[in-house]
Amino acid sequence: MAEANGSAPEWLSEEERSLWLAMNGVLTRLPQALDAQLERDGGLSYFEYLFMAMLSEQEHRTLQMSELAACTNASLSRLSHVARRLEARGYVRREADATDRRCTNAVLTEDGFAAVVALAPLHVAEVRRLVFEAISPDAVLPLTRVLEGIMDIVDPSGHVEPGR
């Protein structure tokens, strides 16, 4: 198969191929492992927990849905579906933004905050077991920079962390 410009593709080196396959495995299996832990311990998916955790860190546990979508790397459509499920459980409510009535805020309820507080230690322990046991402390910052560089290419609009 030729590239668009007609030249032969630049194949991955053995080292690059090994890294790509390892990354592919992590991208596929890590979310499944995190989902399993959170479902078992709290009846939430990984994304539902992430949605609530991001809200728990905000002032008044409130964030505009568009900002929440950006910091969770999700579409507004996906976020709306998850918000609906979490509202049904009493963990989240949605309301019009007081400063911009065109925007909708997601608000973490007391029950939602209690669920995050109960799950957080278990989730962090699982993240440590699955991720940080395999990474030396000296490798954390360089690996963070590499992954942020990949995200800058994948999503040039920029990953947003609320409050930073």
Domains and CATH numbers, the chain: 42-131 (1.10.10.10)
Each residue's pLDDT tens digit in the chain (164 positions)? 455 667 889 999 999 999 999 999 999 999 999 999 999 999 999 999 999 999 999 999 999 999 999 889 889 999 999 999 999 999 999 999 888 888 999 999 999 999 999 999 999 999 999 999 999 999 999 999 999 999 899 888 765 555 44
What does pTM read for this prediction?
Answer: 0.83
pLDDT of residue 160: 53
Angle between helix 14-42 and 110-130 (nearest 10): 140
The sheet with strand 92-96 has its strands ordered as 62-64, 104-108, 92-96
